A and B are shown apart, each in its own frame.
Chain A
Amino acid sequence: QLDAFVVLASGEISYSSQQCSNFMTIYTIIQTVTLIPGDGIGPEISTAVMKIFEAAKAPIQWEERNVTAIKGPGGRWMIPPEAKESMNKNKIGLKGPLKTPIAAGHPSMNLLLRKTFDLYANVRPCVSIEGYKTPYTDVDLVTIRENTEGEYSGIEHLIVDGVVQSIKLITEEASRRIAKYAFEYARNNQRTSVTAVHKANIMRMSDGLFLRKCREVAENYKDVKFTEMYLDTVCLNMVQDPSHFDILVMPNLYGDILSDLCAGLIGGLGVTPSGNIGANGVAIFESVHGTAPDIAGKDLANPTALLLSAVMMLRHMGLHGHAKKIETACFDTIRDEKVLTKDLGGNAKCSEFTADICRRVQDMD
């Protein structure tokens, strides 16, 4: 039974204490997480995830926020101040799919979020899901992509009529930061090797700089094996035998292509989790699929991607026990193949799928 409920003045962490049968009081720290449901199927899959977390008794409290862009005082587009405050306070966020309106005049929402919180690393663990058959069955790798510069710097010029130049920017600082994150991730998640993906034979200076920084950081992490591989070799080998790869770290464009390639290997964006790590300890976990407006509100959506991203979030927060529980329940449901949503090959509703996972989670206790 609940004995006391204390809310700190900052509203950040709340404690709950529970009187146990042998008169011991157990304190559980409940952490607040900013939840951005998103558009389209966003709200329904967010609700699904919240239900599953409740069933798993995960110590998470959700703070829902909206991130539709508004025009700030200087005329520049920005995310609403409440959302920004909430993220900065909680540091951890879970985001559903956001729609990018075509002629709204403001840049894509994902870009805005990235710039606001300096989300420099995009992490995508790709693990083959038993029960969701793809031609590739032994995938277990992580792609870590530099998310702020590189080919996506957006600097383009029309030199003369008919000649366009796009600038690819590589800086020492960003390269070192992403390399450091990759090696830290390897250490924290007991992974054995990090491979830097590059094209330094052609782009000698830019990818050369990226490689040099990776090598320098590798010196401080002797327990993790470091290799370098050309982009084309990685693509070639990935399609033939993906089991050779562990963690891949790379600049922006290669990361974009390779992370989607790996998502394709395990079954597409509907089952792939993703996390964005920013400076100052901010981390936003998201589902990378679209808003699917055609099935929005019809209880047909598949919450797996958002759920696996939420599991990634739990691991990031150190709650490995709950993460394992929820992940196992989710994989068991998919492996059983009895209650599957339409995109996974079944014809169950989203709520039925969610209920099945909740039941499994509760059965585990």
Chain B
Amino acid sequence: MTIRFVLLVNKQGQTRLAQYYEYLTIDERRALEGEIVRKCLARSENQCSFVEHRNYKIIYRRYASLFFLVGVDGEENELAILEFIHCVVETMDRYFGNVCELDIMFHLEKAHFMLEEMVMNGCIVETNKVNILAPIQLMDKSS
């Protein structure tokens, strides 16, 4: 019933954002990311967005040059996660204004803060964009 990790990877397989909700060492992460990305990049448009890898289910969605990948354990609802990914994108879009890969690279910490507001303990706790962005905007104003 939980999300295990969230990854943003570009078409070349470079990781742009990685948030893990269970601990993996750097080598394990590297291996995992490499394998998953290869699997997802090899899939065509007509195949469904859900992949099984080891004991995770990976739900992915492509936006321009970026792949959003969410790894969940066996019992999570895939369609809901697909919508969650879209919610994340819409939130980032609202904050950055027409978000692109560069925005995420240059403001990595802000992207992480947004994700932190939305997912805690691997559960989706907030999808209301106003609530998600409020603390971040307040923080921007006070700095």
**A pairs with B:** no
Which residues of A pack against B, CB within 8 Å? none
Which residues of B pack against A, CB within 8 Å? none
